[in-house]
Structure 1
């Protein structure tokens, strides 16, 4: 372990010390004012009930600590000319971060109506947690933010994602001690084993221990400090400690400690970049202990508040109705001596701003926190290089994700110099057939290596860690700071990031209404190793429900695609990697899959999102079809085409239409989703009243939910996954869930008027084949030859 650096004398002059304290007091005043004040922002008159907001919302407890960090980061940035951003883990402390950006002028730059004077201060206070205003958490509306404060656990992984391939950037990350108890945060400590000191920036974690969550003490604040120190050192960090409740003493100690940490970071980077060191750095970490709700009311109604859980939100909650509370609030606000901090026009004084950086160095104005400003187009190669030839549909097979892997390898090569594309996933890149990328770049790794290891590289741009949360956080931080990426994951286990993707979708939806936020690259998921080909791993690996979760979210920000073969996957990938401000979910198989469409056909089909495969049906073009066989997903497509082939052979007089759906949102009404079809277009494709048998990749009720307002819905019958899984053969998976070709033929017979009697013999044959299948697999352990050897025949 690298040794602890020796302390150095404090470098602050008395003037600097008091300037830091003035800035901190001003920020604390502004934070408290946002929670309470509707008018009289500078207390130029005695405080009255009508000056107080009718609903008191916000979080005071963490705000003084966040303000302290903001103040000292300002000093360090200005003194060292640092390019730095901060990820505010306790993002519910929104009033603190808003206060800092108002003081440095970046808030006024972003929102010119909120001027940096008394009038602007009044607007800042009024808008906070107020109808038509801004949220109480750090949010997209907050200048300088890349991290939504609504949910805890993701700050540190976001910070590491922001630092990747940003060698000149410092990412400070405040971690609340409540957040430090979450599972995602616990895994994200390991980001330091993936950070390359040559090509990446630095992350400075600041663990803020104020002792309490909403109503309970926090674990890391209550364990003995030697135990905490052992934990942090065991995680590969060099902890530095600051604690106290005397402001001037804490200012001196924090300034000294931050200088120690930044000197350490600079030395480690220089050691690697110019000295050629390949040892894994042990990056510094600051542990900051200050009281919760510091400088707020010590007691309220005889009960301790400062330094306890009671300071978490609003310490004085009856200010309008209780004169004693009103008087205590006024005394609290005046304790910051606002008359010293703001001039007669309400502008921050020179002392308050003495240590604040200027221009793009301000935390609220750094371009990395508005990453779309830095985004460049990806140099995507032409798809013709990778497309598989398709002379006739359904005769040849390829592994779609392996074909995509060749494209991704060339994309990695094309971005080798600019380093703005990464592939992330939980230990599954090769399993998902994307290993061609290893011919260009390795897997990022800074820990020890052994001779048996493969494809590990200190400068690798493939990120693998067996934590979906950390993968998600890394990629979000990477995208939000202006780069591109792809998240490859087993379909069943991407559910682990359900809550994280919620937050990102909400972020994207909000930024669409903020003209100052430049669009960022989309968050792209490739879900493979999917439900229908997890026959070998079994029930635990079989869950296609992530798309249901995503399609519940803001329609302007979410897209779901089911490319049925290799060429449609190429066309889909090309589209999503070029897109902006979406969450794109692409579900595609890694097992050998029939090739249905040539590249030009695939492009046209993907552009339509849904279309008729005329070559697969038996329509005569004169009358409406007797039945529509629809499909979405690679395995459902194969089963529908196999069913269409059986119907063609046994019921040649039946007019069958085959419709394949790539873009699931096409099923929605146009007024509900930007990709939705108008009724006339939908009716032309699916008819208004003919039976529709729809074979769908996931849970069948999603299709019903998307199409419930369509005229044909009473005649829509959906087959899909219905939680019947086990370790079995591939075809048995579809039989167990009634998605197989024989069941689909039976569905057609059951639903087309007049067929039930006329085709009773064929229906019985189909049922018998299902029975024969069950007996066969139990004896042989493989699928029926007629299934295993099937291919499309014209």
Structure 2
């Protein structure tokens, strides 16, 4: 433990520097209050009037002065030690502080030249905040220097640790709010220190900001004893440094002393690691800053305590025509308490002796290129995915497992880029289970805790990051991408829902940054979903949920893509495309178990490039209109549709059948709604305008109806998919339970084809008997019937 008490004589700052830093902090606080309240009179050259106040007062004050304090002190150590440092604002609604910090250092004006360093610029800076057409109260994408918005709490540490992977010179100062610290993802993220290599990775300096309150409740960590708090973070493996108090002069001195100790501590760890002098995992420093919520703001308003209380969380002082007139004067007194006349010159520019306190150029936290990761992004060096192709001499040959094949490709993507250190794979302890274990032929899991002889694939410098927390893996990957690298997240399909909200936030970030010319595109967030619903028979109902796709399609068409390759060669083609892409969220659903292979590599490339298409080898309508369209999307649905087609063609050879396979889910939408969507003309050419369509789908069937609701043949579309029926059973029985098996699919077709007549009636009864036989067989034998297990596609066996 390291404590710097505010009553200790440390002498880190000279009196002159202390005075200047306090003035700089006052300037940041003044700008922050101005953002909350003012639309005119930004330098208070005239007495404050109601016309100077915004009509809607929106924003958050409580966390802001503490963050301004931290930002001011980080500027000093950046200059003193020439640090490559960025700032992550974890507490919710910390926007005023980051905007103020980047404006004072000059970055904001460089990015937004209309927000000038003068009185008119201040007026615009204030007016735009939480204002229609302006900027939000978070450290949003519009804010220079931000890689973390903080709208939803819990991910700041994960993003920060992801940012320092393979960035050995980078320090991320991550401010963690004490409210944020109560979230599950944040509580887990403290363990990220067990994965950081002190030689090849950078450093996260967590700064836990204990200001005591959330929106209206005290925070847990602010109300436990000092001893318990110290033991908590020592138990996490950190060396905690404490700064506690409220007196500005004493707090400045204490914070400066602690930051110097922390930076020296970091440098020592780095030096020892480079010399291999310390075999033990380092105890990285962290800072606990305890300061009042709403520090330097009004002490009491209308008889209620404000500073050091939850009431300072948002806009603490209401000022309008309907509030007490005294409130306007209180606001003026509050603003004047920062003495703006001492901070800004007559034109409204920060005075030179204070401006010199900020770092210069890319050392400014708002201008650091790591916060605009597209500036650093380099294309991956990609192997030729065709080299990993499965040889498909005829449709339906046996395959080893689609992800197993793609694992060899990913192994070499890691190998080809190991010198750049710009590609990693992330997953919650499922990489082997998901049959991607070929990647461990070229790399290991990164791990800084002890390793024993019986462990596998662990080292201090691996390309795979695994921790049994989907939140953590997603957060690490997002931080890695946001700072200019590439990656892949593999996960069990049912449990990707754990990061539903994280995906939301990242998709919103991507959408917002597309609208900012100064933000460069970053590598896509690639999510591989496997261990899918149809092959979770041994794990049962809890592991059976394909609904993440439903969630994804809610996002903007400019951002999201969903792919369901039917076999290994298609997966290779899709994976290569996704890893090369920028600024999307690519979701890929693929199987890991042995399964039939349908297309050779040339066919797979053509099919995946189209995203949808007729499978000629399975269709017999080449010279006429089809009687029925049998469509499929996903590996198991493809298998069952083709098995159904084989039954139809054997028993009802006069039927004309068209088989359509969908790889790119958004092909089903209209081109006016999604850039990948088909035109009505192309959609109708595939699915017809008046013929029945039996569609086997990987996910919930209503998603297909949702995507095609305004297509001309929608009334003829009958979709079979997962309908929340599952248990521990055989693989084929999972399809039977959800009526997506080959027998139900054939029955659906017969029900929509009255021309099948008596033949159709007899075939339907035969298949109903098969379903009864199936149930009896699996109950007696614990496995599927031989005709299911041994089924093969055989085009030559058909009569036409």
- The answer to whether the superposition gives a TM-score over 0.5 is yes
Q: CA deviation at 1:729?
A: 0.5
Could you say which residue in structure 1 is the equivalent of 2:55? 54
Could you say which residue in structure 1 is the equivalent of 2:102? 101
Q: In structure 2, how many angstroms separate the alpha carbons of the residues matched to 1:5 and 1:53?
A: 41
Could you say which residue in structure 1 is the equivalent of 2:246? 245
Question: Normalization by structure 1: what TM-score?
Answer: 0.99
Conserved 8 A contact 1:555-1:672: yes
Conserved 8 A contact 1:102-1:108: yes
Q: CA deviation at 1:4?
A: 8.8
Could you say which residue in structure 2 is the equivalent of 1:125? 126
Q: CA deviation at 1:3?
A: 8.8
Tell me, yes or no, if structure 1 residue 111 matches structure 2 residue 144. Answer: no
Conserved 8 A contact 1:4-1:238: no
Could you say which residue in structure 2 is the equivalent of 1:771? 772
Q: In structure 1, how many angstroms separate the alpha carbons of the residues matched to 2:247 and 2:509?
A: 38
Conserved 8 A contact 2:4-2:257: no
Q: CA deviation at 1:544?
A: 0.4
Distance verdict in 2 for CA 1:101–1:5, change over 3 Å: closer
Q: In structure 1, how many angstroms separate the alpha carbons of the residues matched to 2:399 and 2:650?
A: 23
Q: 1:336 aligns with which of 300, 319, 338?
A: 338
Conserved 8 A contact 1:746-1:763: yes
Distance verdict in 2 for CA 1:534–1:393, change over 3 Å: same
Could you say which residue in structure 2 is the equivalent of 1:296? 297
1:214-255 per-residue CA deviation (whole Å, 9 max, x = no partner) reads 000000000001001111100011100001111111010001
Q: In structure 2, how many angstroms separate the alpha carbons of the residues matched to 1:312 and 1:246?
A: 20
Q: CA deviation at 1:132?
A: 1.0
Q: 2:615 aligns with which of 604, 613, 616?
A: 613
Q: CA deviation at 1:396?
A: 2.5
Conserved 8 A contact 1:29-1:338: yes
Q: CA deviation at 1:553?
A: 1.1
Could you say which residue in structure 1 is the equivalent of 2:32? 31
Q: In structure 2, how many angstroms separate the alpha carbons of the residues matched to 1:477 and 1:8?
A: 39
Q: In structure 2, how many angstroms separate the alpha carbons of the residues matched to 1:91 and 1:305?
A: 19
1:347-388 per-residue CA deviation (whole Å, 9 max, x = no partner) reads 001232232000001011000000010001001100121011
Conserved 8 A contact 2:4-2:258: no
Q: In structure 2, how many angstroms separate the alpha carbons of the residues matched to 1:616 and 1:278?
A: 62
Conserved 8 A contact 1:390-1:396: no
Could you say which residue in structure 1 is the equivalent of 2:798? none
Deviates more, 1:307-316 or 1:394-403: 394-403
**SS of 1:397's equivalent?**
coil
Q: 2:404 aligns with which of 402, 405, 409?
A: 402
Q: CA deviation at 1:117?
A: 1.1
Alignment of 1:218-617 (within 5 A): 218-321=219-322, 322-617=324-619
**SS of 2:288's equivalent?**
strand
Conserved 8 A contact 1:198-1:272: yes
Alignment of 1:194-213 (within 5 A): 194-213=195-214
Conserved 8 A contact 2:164-2:203: yes
Ranges in structure 2 where 5+ consecutive residues have no aligned partner: 796-800
Could you say which residue in structure 2 is the equivalent of 1:138? 139
Conserved 8 A contact 2:563-2:665: yes
Q: In structure 2, how many angstroms separate the alpha carbons of the residues matched to 1:349 and 1:3?
A: 36
Could you say which residue in structure 2 is the equivalent of 1:81? 82
Question: Normalization by structure 2: what TM-score?
Answer: 0.98
Conserved 8 A contact 2:2-2:240: no
Conserved 8 A contact 1:443-1:456: yes
Q: In structure 2, how many angstroms separate the alpha carbons of the residues matched to 1:519 and 1:727?
A: 44
Deviates more, 1:485-494 or 1:132-141: 132-141
**SS of 1:250's equivalent?**
helix
Distance verdict in 2 for CA 1:297–1:411, change over 3 Å: same
Could you say which residue in structure 2 is the equivalent of 1:741? 742
Tell me, yes or no, if structure 1 residue 176 matches structure 2 residue 188. Answer: no
1:430-489 per-residue CA deviation (whole Å, 9 max, x = no partner) reads 001111111111111101111111110001110000000000100000000000000000
Conserved 8 A contact 1:23-1:351: no
Report how many aligned residue pairs link the two structures. Answer: 792
Could you say which residue in structure 2 is the equivalent of 1:690? 691
Q: In structure 1, how many angstroms separate the alpha carbons of the residues matched to 2:634 and 2:758?
A: 32
CA RMSD in angstroms, aligned pairs only: 1.3
Q: CA deviation at 1:411?
A: 1.1
Distance verdict in 2 for CA 1:5–1:452, change over 3 Å: farther
Distance verdict in 2 for CA 1:291–1:784, change over 3 Å: same
Q: CA deviation at 1:296?
A: 0.6
Q: In structure 2, how many angstroms separate the alpha carbons of the residues matched to 1:730 and 1:574?
A: 29
Could you say which residue in structure 2 is the equivalent of 1:69? 70
**SS of 2:335's equivalent?**
helix
Q: In structure 1, how many angstroms separate the alpha carbons of the residues matched to 2:9 and 2:164?
A: 28
Q: In structure 2, how many angstroms separate the alpha carbons of the residues matched to 1:305 and 1:319?
A: 19
Could you say which residue in structure 1 is the equivalent of 2:761? 760
1:661-703 per-residue CA deviation (whole Å, 9 max, x = no partner) reads 0000010111111111110010001111110010000000000
Q: CA deviation at 1:278?
A: 3.0
Q: In structure 2, how many angstroms separate the alpha carbons of the residues matched to 1:614 and 1:666?
A: 19
Q: In structure 1, how many angstroms separate the alpha carbons of the residues matched to 2:317 and 2:686?
A: 62
Q: In structure 2, how many angstroms separate the alpha carbons of the residues matched to 1:750 and 1:375?
A: 55
Q: CA deviation at 1:91?
A: 4.0
Could you say which residue in structure 1 is the equivalent of 2:785? 784
